[in-house]
DNA sequence: ACCTGAACACCGTTCAAGT
DNA sequence: ACCTGAACACCGTTCAAGT
């Protein structure tokens, strides 16, 4: 239960940063106006000077997530290679923050750093030949899907100590294996992989691949 | 503010159903133990007889969503045609309930109806030649992505009266058009489509297509 | 088996006031 | 400009008790 230095000067940035750190440690439910105030040895109402309401605090967290994206350079390779690289860059920035990743979906176009990412994806899709409408729909969907990749990863959510995690995984496996093999043969066959993702990197690679290949696929339709 | 008949007999099913209806009308934040109790003219604590805690109530909502999926018959057409049909069926069941759709992602394997859907998707992927591990990862991801398609649809969330919706859309468009065309040329070019989805059906079709094509793509890698 | 009453430990937020 | 104090209207949940 490490807390921020007792009397660091407050500001949007400092507060958003420590809110993000708190979410990473204890989950998004732990991020509370009152808790955050307490961690900074200040009254809850003090935060309302820096944020209009809690939603603005969450905006601040999302902004930091977007700011963590380091976009790869644009190359002269085919558009889908570049698209893959951008999505991977986005994924890498989000992966360390599974608890808060859901915040970004609705906020891409509301933060400057988010707009930069969106602009890049839109540009690549335009280069691939999609219309402005298609481009808009696909770009938003791609970014959201990368987020989904993270939040849908099999296995219990982090922010648990590893002992509790292991127990949860074993329980999950047991439940799935106990299902009727007549009704759910494939669930039973895939039980272990459904309960826990053994190789995260290959899971994420496959996911990004699926998306990029999907875009290629609908382009030639 | 229509409420359930004053003294219908309480039960898990009745409560979950009216919780879902409430969420559809006023959003998931409106679904509260106390509010639900009030709508049924009963004490909040009465609900704890039927549900261990609020999470179980949400499980009940998710269960109803899965139960609404009408799976298409298995055909002798190629696996990807069938996969497309299953995803569409899933999508159709979820679309009427955008506010609650986020509940299903973590609950597919916890409800009987959810398992039936998962089993079907797993089966089709196995038929396509994927390993049990790949099948597990992809199946979960596909279902989550369909959910994402709904929650990432451009435009303000429903549960607003149409006047407020229109105003929100106009505001969004204005903000995007006001951006620097040097920094964000493609965002500005796609502004209208980013603010509002003009054709929902084609948006959803393209999304499901992208996923199925994506699966085809990574199969031949 | 099914529901109530009272209480507890939390939330976000407003408003007036202090320095 | 930045923060406090007191108060309000909410939450989920426990526990003992009623029928």
Burial-class residue B156 by CB neighbours within 10 Å (0-12, 13-18, 19+).
Answer: middle
Does residue B155 carry a pLDDT above 90? Answer: no
Of how many residues is chain B composed?
Answer: 221
Residues 13-72 of B with CB under 8 A from A: none
Question: Which residue among A147, A152, A211 sits closest to B214, beta carbon to beta carbon?
Answer: A211
Tens digit of pLDDT for each residue in B81-134?
999 999 999 999 999 999 999 999 999 999 999 999 999 999 999 999 999 999
Cα separation values, A195 from A187, A190, A191, B106, Å = 10, 9, 6, 11
Tens digit of pLDDT for each residue in A48-60?
999 999 999 999 9
CB A219, CB A128: distance < 8 Å: yes
Å from B50 to nearest chain A CA? Answer: 23
pLDDT category, B2, cuts 50, 70, 90?
very low
Task: Mark yes or no for CB contact A186/B216 under 8 Å.
Answer: no
pLDDT given for residue B14 in this prediction: 97
pLDDT category, B164, cuts 50, 70, 90?
confident
Report if CB B45 to strand C is under 7 Å.
yes
Q: What is the DSSP string of A29-59?
A: GG--HHHHHHHTTS-GGGHHHH-SSHHHHHH
Answer whether A177 touches B (CB < 8 Å). Answer: no
Q: Please state, in angstroms and rounded to a whole number, the distance separating the CA atoms of residues B122 and B144.
A: 14
SS3 A199: coil
Q: What percent of chain B has pLDDT over 70?
A: 96
Report if CB B45 to strand D is under 7 Å.
yes
Q: Please state, in angstroms and rounded to a whole number, the distance separating the CA atoms of residues A145 and A212.
A: 11
CB A117, CB A71: distance < 8 Å: yes
A138: closest chain B residue by CA: B207
C1’ C10 / CA A37, Å: 15
Burial-class residue A163 by CB neighbours within 10 Å (0-12, 13-18, 19+).
Answer: exposed
pLDDT given for residue B156 in this prediction: 79
Token readout for B1 is 């503010």
Within 8 A by CB and 6+ apart from A99, the residues are A23, A24, A27, A28, A157, A158, A159
Task: Mark yes or no for CB contact B194/A140 under 8 Å.
Answer: yes
Tens digit of pLDDT for each residue in A179-202?
999 999 999 999 999 999 999 999
Arithmetic mean of pLDDT, B70-77: 95
Report if CB B10 to strand C is under 7 Å.
yes
C1’ C8 / CA B45, Å: 14
Radius of gyration of chain A (CA): 20
Tens digit of pLDDT for each residue in B180-212?
999 999 999 999 999 999 999 999 999 999 999
Q: Please state, in angstroms and rounded to a whole number, the distance separating the CA atoms of residues A127 and A141.
A: 17
Å from B205 to nearest chain A CA? Answer: 11
Does residue A161 carry a pLDDT above 80? Answer: no
Does residue A5 carry a pLDDT above 70? Answer: no
Token readout for A46 is 């003090």
Tens digit of pLDDT for each residue in A73-87?
999 999 999 999 999
Tens digit of pLDDT for each residue in A17-66?
999 999 999 999 999 999 999 999 999 999 999 999 999 999 999 999 99
Does residue A203 carry a pLDDT above 80? Answer: yes
Residue where the block lists tokens 């209009």: A52
Q: Please state, in angstroms and rounded to a whole number, the distance separating the CA atoms of residues B167 and B182.
A: 27
Token readout for A108 is 């891409």
Arithmetic mean of pLDDT, A147-161: 86
Q: How many CB atoms lie within 10 A of CB A160?
A: 13
Q: Please state, in angstroms and rounded to a whole number, the distance separating the CA atoms of residues A14 and A162.
A: 29
Residues 118-157 of B with CB under 8 A from A: 118-119, 122-123, 126, 132-141, 144-145, 147-149, 151-152, 154
Answer whether A114 touches B (CB < 8 Å). Answer: no
Q: How many CB atoms lie within 10 A of CB B45?
A: 10
Residue where the block lists tokens 């699926």: A210
CB A20, CB A61: distance < 8 Å: yes
Within 8 A by CB and 6+ apart from B163, the residues are none
Does residue B1 carry a pLDDT above 60? Answer: no
């Amino acid at each position: 239960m490490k807390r921020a230095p007792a009397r660091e000067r407050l500001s949007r940035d400092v507060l958003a940063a420590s809110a993000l750190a708190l979410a990473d440690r204890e989950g998004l439910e732990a991020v509370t106006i009152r808790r955050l105030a307490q961690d900074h040895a200040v009254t809850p109402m003090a935060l309302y000077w820096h944020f209009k309401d809690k939603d603005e605090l969450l905006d601040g967290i999302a902004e930091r997530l977007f700011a963590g994206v380091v976009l790869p350079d644009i190359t002269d390779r085919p558009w889908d290679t570049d698209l893959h690289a951008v999505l991977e860059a986005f994924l890498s920035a989000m992966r360390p923050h599974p608890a808060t990743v859901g915040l970004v979906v609705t906020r891409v176009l509301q933060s400057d750093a988010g707009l930069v990412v969106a602009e890049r994806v839109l540009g690549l899709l335009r280069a691939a030949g999609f219309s402005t409408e298609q481009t808009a729909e696909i770009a938003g969907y791609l970014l959201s899907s990368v987020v989904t990749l993270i939040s849908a990863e099999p296995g219990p959510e982090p922010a648990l100590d590893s002992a509790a995690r292991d127990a949860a995984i074993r329980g999950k496996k047991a439940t799935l294996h106990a299902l009727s093999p007549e009704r759910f043969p494939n669930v039973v066959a895939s039980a272990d992989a459904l309960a826990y993702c053994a190789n995260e990197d290959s899971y994420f690679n496959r996911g990004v691949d699926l998306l990029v290949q999907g875009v290629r696929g609908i382009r030639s339709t």
